Amino acid sequence: MIAHRGGGKFAPENTLAALRKGHELGFRGVEFDVMLAADAVPVLIHDETLERTTNGRGNVADTPAPVLGTLDAGAWFDAHYRGEPVPLFVDAARLCLSLGLWANIEIKPATGHEATTGRVAATLAAQVWQDAPPGLVPLLSSFSEAALAAARSAAPQLPRGLLLDAVPDDWHARMTALGCLSLHCNQARLDERTAQGIVQAGYGLATWTVNDPDAARRLFAWGVDAVFTDRLDLIGPDFC
């Protein structure tokens, strides 16, 4: 089980507080999104724009990291988290290491910044996790094949996962071309036959976003290796 965006529905997404919450609730794996600020510094945020999860306005790609660091990324979720900043990727990486959390780093490039985001995120991840034990080596994933290709060139030693909404007929060729070890897809668009085909081909399979325990049980019965969940209370770290 992987805590979606750090803390699921229990903390403001993509913040250090969310990573701490996932750890507090017993999760050993977390997922979060990495995008580049205007100065090419990687930060944790999902949207290309600031309005939904911060008190800022405008585009992430047009805003330097020092400015992003002054924004409030917690109050939208709950007053308890007021003042929680947009974190730097390097700080999130170090926190995961200190807490013993395995990380699925979703490379989330702003439009037009795909290759650069993949290269920068992979380079920094390789530096921070260079001495990590095998169980904590992170996974780089993305919907962007250009970002994954750049990540592979920058840090070929780090495992990669291809994100897809629905699984297309050419999924195997795309995985092979990018050297990916796992495929991550929308659980609502996955069927048992496809799931078993991916697993039998030797790839890891993860699905998002699974918030219903019955759905999680069905997916595991199909051979799915992991699910991303927001409901850290219903689908806990030792579920199934």
SS3 206: strand
Report the percentage of the chain scoring pLDDT > 90: 100
Which sequence positions are flagged as catalytic?
4, 46
Mean pLDDT of 163-172: 98
- The contacts found for 164-172 with CB under 8 angstroms, 24 or more apart, are 165/189, 166/190, 167/194, 167/198, 171/198, 172/201
Q: For 134-147, how does the pLDDT look when each residue is reduced to its tens digit (9 = 90+)?
A: 999 999 999 999 99
> Rg of the Cα trace of the chain?
17
- Residue 25: per-residue pLDDT: 98
- Cβ–Cβ < 8 Å for 18, 6: yes
Q: For residue 184, what are its two tokens?
A: 């991550």
Q: For 9-31, how does the pLDDT look when each residue is reduced to its tens digit (9 = 90+)?
A: 999 999 999 999 999 999 999 99
Q: Which of 163, 104, 176, 180 is nearest to 137 (CA)?
A: 104
Q: For residue 154, what are its two tokens?
A: 């920058």
- Residue 236: per-residue pLDDT: 95
Q: For 105-124, how does the pLDDT look when each residue is reduced to its tens digit (9 = 90+)?
A: 999 999 999 999 999 999 99
Q: For residue 59, what are its two tokens?
A: 């585009």
Mean pLDDT of 174-194: 98
- pTM comes to 0.98
Strands (E), the chain: 2-3, 29-36, 42-44, 102-107, 139-142, 160-164, 182-186, 204-208, 226-229
Q: For 34-63, how does the pLDDT look when each residue is reduced to its tens digit (9 = 90+)?
A: 999 999 999 999 999 999 999 999 999 999
Residue 240 has pLDDT above 80, yes or no: no
Query: How many beta carbons lie within 10 A of that of residue 151, not counting itself?
Result: 30
CA distance 40 to 156: 21
